[in-house]
Amino acid sequence: MARKNKGFNKSASTANSQIKPGQTVINDFSIDIRTVDITRKDLTKWRNAYQSAISIERPNRKALYDIYTDILIDDHLKSVINQRRLAVTNSNIVFQNEGNPVDSINNLLNSEHFDLFLKHALDSRFWGYSLIHADFKNDLFELVPRSHVVPKDGIVVADPYDITGISYTKSPYSYYYIGVGEPDDLGLLLIATILVLIKRGNLSDWAQFNEIFGQPMRKGTYDPHMPGNKTQLLQALEQAGAMSYIAVPNGSNVEFIEANKSGASDTYDGLYEKMEKGLSKLIVGQTMTTEDGSSRSQGEVHERVAQAIAQDDRLFVTKLLNGRVRNMMIAQGFPEAATGEFQFMDEEATIPKDKRLTMDLSIHTQVAPLTIEYFEQEYNVVFDMEALKKREEEKTKAAAQIPVPGKPDPKQNDKTKLALSLLDRIQDFFVAARH
């Protein structure tokens, strides 16, 4: 079954293909969205799909992407992918021009739709090459179905098995469609598929093991010479509960040769755990941020690995935004994007500098002194150390001239006498005037 998708950009249609930058109308191009194949997968199907995806003559990724979609229901895989995404999407991205925020662009960055763009861009690390429709004027960001994109030729095809289509690298589509990742990249899910399929098969075998050996077996015997005896026995065993049972004729012998239950269970458990650890190492580079750690020192090492991967993802996004995305924004009618850049900012860096200075001065005066080096680095200023030294010397000299309490100051006594004499003369004047 397939359904029609009227235009892989889902924009309004027009007969005019000569579209100028900044306009949002693009020709229709219908594609047939096919149902994802979620039948049982195994390593043989994965290998065949992989071979089809890397074919030199007619590469096709439909079967491989169907497997990717199927394995993403794995709880552990989904968890570690979300963990890696959140390290980027939970960070603050701002657009600044010489340190000043540009509101028109930052308002767009703060929209929930722009988060979709970041998600699709980051997913290229898991799925491989991804084509994204980015309409900044209308705040519209969506992923072109990957099965319909042929990265090697730079085209979108109506049917996943077509060999001709529309080039998104040429005008007018190039103004609104951006390919993220390398054209031949199949993403981390290529390796994750092996781990998930082994884990899934192991879990299925483990469940069957528990079904057979996890409950006691019931044995019933019947007389083969008595008509209906076997049927009556089977009915009785079936109605007696859900435990497994077996019915044998009198005189027969059934022997159950059991494996070591404890050792077999440990084998299944060990393989399951090994596959989950493999997924953690593949996606987030370590295991202790997804599972319990054995020591604090090891946890700190694993945490640094996770931070290094998150930093690499932020650098990947920053280069994308400051490169082709910024050029697309300029073409779509955002001239302010030409002078400035996108940056990841931590929460403290988003506080305006005037407020941060007030906070730092309060700490400096009320809590503990801050170093001059801190102020120079934080506010990008250079202090004149000679002037500061001279001012401190003047303060010290002035402090030395302040009279010590309890010790008479000769100069101060002379001033006091002069003031009292002047006061007496003023009082005498007003007394004489009254009379």
pLDDT of residue 17: 40
Which of 141-150, 199-208, 409-418 shows the lowest mean pLDDT across its residues?
409-418
Beta strand 100-101 with 130-135: parallel, antiparallel or unpaired? unpaired
396 located within any domain: yes
pTM: predicted TM-score of the whole model, two decimal places: 0.69
Q: Number of folded domains in the chain?
A: 2
328 located within any domain: no
Confidence band, pLDDT 50/70/90 cuts, at residue 119 = very high
Mean pLDDT over all residues of the chain? Answer: 79
CB 102, CB 92: distance < 8 Å: no
Of the ranges 99-113, 283-297, 418-432, the best mean pLDDT one: 99-113
231 located within any domain: no
pLDDT of residue 294: 57
What does the pLDDT average to over 71-96? 91
Is the per-residue pLDDT at 177 higher than 90?
yes
365 located within any domain: yes
Is the per-residue pLDDT at 178 higher than 90?
yes
44 located within any domain: no
Confidence band, pLDDT 50/70/90 cuts, at residue 28 = low
CB 324, CB 300: distance < 8 Å: no
308 located within any domain: no
203 located within any domain: no
Residue 416 lies in domain: 408-435
Rounded to 10 degrees, what is the CA torsion of 156, 158, 160, 161? -110
Cα dist. 310→58, 304, 334 in Å? 36, 10, 29
pLDDT of residue 13: 35
pLDDT of residue 16: 38
